[in-house]
Amino acid sequence: MKLSCSILLATQVLSVLSRPALGVTRPRTTTIAAGGAGAITATSAAAGTTASAGAGAGEAGEEAGEENEIEQEAQFGEAVNLDGGDIKTDTLYPPGTNGRFEVEFQNQEARVLTVTENINPAAPPAGFVALEPVSYVVALEGGAEYLTLQKIDYILNANSTLDISTGQVARFCTEANSFVFGEGELEFEADENELTLTVANMVGEWAVFVPQTAGAGAGAGADAGAGETEAGVGAGAGVGAGAGDPCGQGTMCRALLDALQRLVGGGQA
């Protein structure tokens, strides 16, 4: 786990150094580098009109596949049965400040899912704000290795006007004491206003963030989180400015480097 966190943090540093400042608006039908190692692929119905003729058959197959899907509601802290038989099961949790948490599961053998809220999560990565004042702790009885499918999703509330297309779903790294990006394959589904992260292991603590420029109206979701600190605000300004040393004080790069140094046991830079 320590090595994995080190790699993710190092990748984030390289990503920050190689990309333009945060807050650049790009079309939703393009691939968006949104602050982490994993790119967000935005999909929409409009994009589908430019696809090849073979896409129609694929969509028909997808609709047929949806007939074998189960969608269920659950409460935080409740143990929920996930049936096997390789039937896809989507488990939705009560809406939060800006959106709702969802877990997607598919496997031949059944599992038992429990998701709890951490009401005192760690601060957001520098330059980002949390969409919710909580993080989500996922436990899976029976283990999460070698499942057919497992995803961590966040769906924007229908009445929200926030833009989450550049959002990130992050896992908490205990060794670095911070949330890190780059775990799995992240997509933004424009039709559903949904961030969906395909992972190899859903077990862990998860939170959802957007760049400070995109999350200006996040409201209580950002204000109530531990990340609303003077250091965090300064970091956002440093990243947005993009001038001078890209790893200077108050920048995302510096915050990531500091976390990486703590993780590997080095001193302060």
Angstrom distance (rounded) from CA 30 to CA 215: 20
Of the given ranges (18-27, 175-184, 250-259), which has the lowest mean pLDDT? 18-27
pLDDT of residue 166: 97
pLDDT of residue 71: 98
pLDDT of residue 214: 72
Kindly report the average pLDDT of the chain as a whole number.
74
Of the given ranges (27-31, 117-121, 250-254), which has the lowest mean pLDDT? 27-31
Mutual orientation of helices 2-18 and 252-264 as an angle, nearest 10°? 160
**Residue 16: which pLDDT band, with cuts at 50, 70 and 90?**
very low
At 80-118, the pLDDT tens digits run 999 999 999 999 999 999 999 999 999 999 999 999 999
pLDDT at 124 > cutoff 80? yes
- In terms of DSSP H, where are the helices of the chain? 2-18, 45-48, 55-66, 220-223, 230-241, 252-264
pLDDT at 74 > cutoff 70? yes
**What Cα–Cα distance (Å) separates residue 190 from each residue in 66, 75, 102, 103, 245?**
19, 26, 16, 18, 35
- Residue of 26 and 120 predicted with greater confidence: 120
pLDDT of residue 68: 84
* Domain limits, the chain: 2-47+68-264
Q: Are 197 and 185 in contact (CB under 8 A)?
A: yes
pLDDT of residue 239: 34
Query: Can you tell me the mean pLDDT for 190-201?
Result: 98
pLDDT at 21 > cutoff 90? no
pLDDT of residue 213: 85
**Residue 212: which pLDDT band, with cuts at 50, 70 and 90?**
very high
Which helix (H) or strand (E) segment holds residue 188: the answer is strand 185-189
